[in-house]
Amino acid sequence: MSIRNSMVFTGKLSAEKRAYVAYLARDKDFKTADICKKSGISRATVYRIKREKQWEGKGKNIKKMGGRPRKLNGRDERKILRALKSLRRTEGNYSTAQIMSTAGISARQVSTRTVRRYLNKNGYFSLQARKKGLLSEADCKKRLKFAKQMKSQYPPEVWKDHIAFYVDGVSFTYKRRPKEQALAPRGRVWRKKSEGLARGCTAKGSKEGTGGKLVKLIVAVSYSHGVIEVYEYEHLDGPFFASFVKERFPIMFGIASKASRMFLQDNAPSQNAACVRGAIRRLKAKQLQFPPRSGDLNPIENVFKSVKQLLHKQAIRDDVEYETYDEFKIRVIDTLKHFSVTEIDNTIASMNKRIDMVIDKKGDRTKY
């Protein structure tokens, strides 16, 4: 008769040996360790035999035999789940040991492996955290308000035909060994497979790793035109961005050739200083304001993410073990300038769907 769990034991155990184990456990009430010594079989096999139904309930006076004693009782299990949900609200990343500490469970009582097995049993796994940023209740309210205003005050084609361009600053971190960095593991968090966007399950922000010189760029994209501006800078402050608006915005509006002079950028202080607002007014342009921590409502953020993924794939595909900062900068700018116009158009065209999702989720994070 084959043992059911072939991962542990693949041989055959005679009926006499099984009966002997059952006799020692059921009639003699021997401990598992003593049964192993007398029978010469492993603890795992003894536990499996004790769990088999053929040895249970042979009469009213026969004691039902269980397997290995549970390390966690029902109360401890409930405390573990409460601790996990509590840490989601207060911590970005947390370990199994932190879950145990919050739950008040001592490492002397159970091992971290036991807690991990219990979490896995309940559908929680240590999965890669999606880098979407953390949202507060106030953020959700602002996002919901913005979505409703866009739905009621603007036509559906506003994202494609009325917003001339989407502009933002972005930094790419230089690493001497790009292939090694591309293969490095990303941040992980305890969550169910269906909770990739749930509050407390996303990472605090994009992490490129410690250190590294930055390639700093101002980038603009436009529907049907792709990337229309890639401008390198050293320090992005109010006066610099005001001069950038004065010099480059007229050119960007000309390339975009839309029906209006509306554009979208994020709420970074340097891009919304008083001198910047003055430069925008003098150009008779209109900035579309959108809520903070809402990268999913700014299509250019998806472009930046895709470009960073492309850079990682290039490093792996081309086996780029080492490159200089200048080589990296050229590779970044070239990747941006040749980024797919179709992908940018599809990203911008998805904005109405994103607005509907924000409303349906009452301001919570979308999949974008």
In a domain, 237, yes or no: yes
Distance CA 120, CA 318 (A): 38
72, 109 contact by CB (below 8 A): no
Three-state secondary-structure class, residue 82: helix
Q: Are residues 312 and 165 in the same domain?
A: yes
pLDDT at 6: 41
Per-residue DSSP letter, 65? P
In a domain, 132, yes or no: no
At 240, list the tokens: 């610099």
Q: Are residues 143 and 254 in the same domain?
A: yes
pLDDT at 56: 52
Q: Are residues 141 and 64 in the same domain?
A: no
Q: Are residues 167 and 298 in the same domain?
A: yes
Looking at the structure of the chain, the number of domains it has is 3
Q: Are residues 213 and 271 in the same domain?
A: yes
In a domain, 113, yes or no: yes
Strands 286-288 and 226-232: unpaired
Three-state secondary-structure class, residue 228: strand
CB neighbours of residue 163 within 10 Å: 24
Collect contacts of 180-185 with beta carbons under 8 A, ≥24 apart: 180/321, 181/208, 181/209, 181/312, 181/315, 182/311, 182/312, 182/313, 182/315, 182/316, 183/316, 184/209
In a domain, 9, yes or no: yes
173, β-bridge pairs: 214
Q: Are residues 62 and 78 in the same domain?
A: no
- Cα angle 150, 155, 156 (rounded to 5 degrees) comes to 85
Q: Are residues 106 and 179 in the same domain?
A: no
Range of the domain at 244: 137-360
In a domain, 116, yes or no: yes
Strands 226-232 and 262-264: unpaired
287, β-bridge pairs: 263
In a domain, 368, yes or no: no
In a domain, 298, yes or no: yes
Q: Are residues 192 and 306 in the same domain?
A: yes
Sign of the C-alpha dihedral, residues 207, 209, 210, 211? negative
In a domain, 28, yes or no: yes
pLDDT at 48: 82
Strands 163-173 and 262-264: parallel
Ordered per-residue pLDDT tens for the chain, 368 residues: 344 444 444 567 888 888 888 888 878 888 888 888 888 888 888 888 877 645 555 444 444 555 567 888 889 999 999 998 888 776 656 788 889 989 999 888 889 999 999 999 988 888 766 565 667 889 999 999 999 999 999 999 999 999 999 999 999 989 888 887 777 656 667 677 777 666 666 655 444 444 468 999 999 999 999 999 999 999 999 999 999 999 999 999 999 999 899 999 988 888 889 999 999 999 999 999 888 888 889 999 999 999 999 999 999 999 989 999 999 999 999 999 999 999 999 999 999 999 999 999 999 888 87
Burial 192-215 (b: 16+ CB within 10 A, else e): eeebbbebbbbbeeeeeeeebeeb
By CB atoms closer than 10 A (0-12, 13-18, 19+), residue 222 is buried
Q: CATH no. for residue 318?
A: 3.30.420.10
130, 196 contact by CB (below 8 A): yes
